[in-house]
Structure 1
Amino acid sequence: MLTSFAAGRRLAQRALAWQAVAVALTALAFLVKGWPWALAALAGGGSVAVGGWLHSAIALGGGAAPAGGALARVLVGALAKWAVVLAVLVLAVGVGGLPPVAVGVGVIVALVTQMLAMASR
C-alpha cells in the first residue's frame, strides 16, 4: 500500500519538474515581446505548477485512509489547486494588468505538460 503513495509522489514531482522547464521556456519565448509578457506566462504556468503541488500535498499527505476520506482529500486538493490558479489569474490580469494571452498560454502549456508527464513512463 505504501508503494502506491510513493509512486504518486514521484509522479507528481516529475510532472512539477517538467512543468517548471516548459513554463520557463515559454517565458523565454515571450521575452521577445517584453518583460510583461514573460512575467504573464510565468504567472499563468506557475499558478498551475504551485496548484498541482498543493493538490498532491493534500491528496497524498494523509496516508492510507478509508475510501471516503481519500476521496475527500482528492476533492479538497483539486479545489485548492483551482482556487490558486483562479486567484493568480485574477491578480495577474485584473490587478497587475499583465497580458491575458500570455497568462492563458502559460496555463495551457503547464496543463499540457502535466498531462504528458503523467502519461509517459
Structure 2
Amino acid sequence: MHDPLATGRRAALRAIAIQAVAAALVALAFLVTGPRPALAATAGGVAMLAGNALAAAVALGGGIRPARAAFARLLLGMLGKWVLVLVLVAVALQVWRLPPLPLLAGVAVGLLVYLPALNLRSANELRTRGGKVEREH
C-alpha cells in the first residue's frame, strides 16, 4: 500500500538531516574566525532546522485530509516556521549579542540546502524493472 504521508515524512527527515550537516559545515568554517562567529552560524542553522522541522510536523501531522484542510496545514506550518526562525534570530542578536553576518550565513545555508535536499530520492525509492532503473512517481 502506498502512503504518501509516510513518503513525505521520510523526505522531510532526510532533508532536515542534510540541512543539519550543512549547518555544521558552515559553523566549522566560521570557527576559523573564532568561537562567537561559529556559535552565531550554528544558531542560524539551528533556527532554520527548527523552523523546517516545525513546518514539516504541522503540514504532515494531521493525516489525510481534504484539500482545503491540507492547504491550511501547509500555510500554518510555513507561518510557524518563519515566526520561529525570526524569534530565534532575534534572540540570538538581541539577547546573546551574536555577530549578525555568521548568523545570517547559517540561516541562508539552511534555507538554500533544505529544498534541494527535500527533492532527493533515496535508493529505496528507486524501482528496478528488467535491469532498467526507473523513478517512482
TM above 0.5, one fold?
Answer: yes
CA distance in structure 1 between the partners assigned to 2:65 and 2:97 by the alignment: 44
Deviation >4 Å, runs of 4+:
none
Q: Report sequence identity in percent.
A: 50
Q: Which residue of 2 aligns with 1:99?
A: 99
Aligned residue in 1 for 2:31: 31
Q: Is 2:11–2:119's contact at 8 Å kept on the other side of the alignment?
A: no
Q: Partner of 2:63 in structure 1?
A: 63
Instruction: Give the aligned residue type for 1:103.
Output: L
Larger radius of gyration: 2
**In the alignment, residue 84 of structure 1 is paired with which amino acid?**
L
* 2:10 aligned partner: 10
SS at the partner of 1:62? coil
Gaps of 5+ in 1: none
Instruction: Work out the CA distance in 2 between the residues paired with 1:2 and 1:66.
Output: 18
Deviation at 1:118, TM superposition (A): 1.8
Q: Deviations over 1:22-57 (max 9, x none)?
A: 101110111111111011001111111111011111
RMSD: 1.3
Higher helix share: 1
Match of 2:131 in 1: none
> Would you say 1:72 and 2:72 are equivalent positions?
yes
Counterpart CA distance in 1 for 2:49 and 2:15 is 9
The answer to which structure has the higher strand fraction is 2
SS in 1 for 2:3: helix
Give how far 1:95 is off.
1.9
Secondary structure class of the residue paired with 1:23: helix
For the residue of structure 1 that corresponds to 2:68, the secondary structure is: helix
Once the two structures are superposed, what CA deviation does each residue of 1:47-91 show, in whole Å capped at 9, x if it has no partner? 111110111111100001111111111111101100110001101
SS in 1 for 2:19: helix
Question: Highest relative contact order (Cα 8 Å, sep 6+), 1 or 2?
Answer: 1
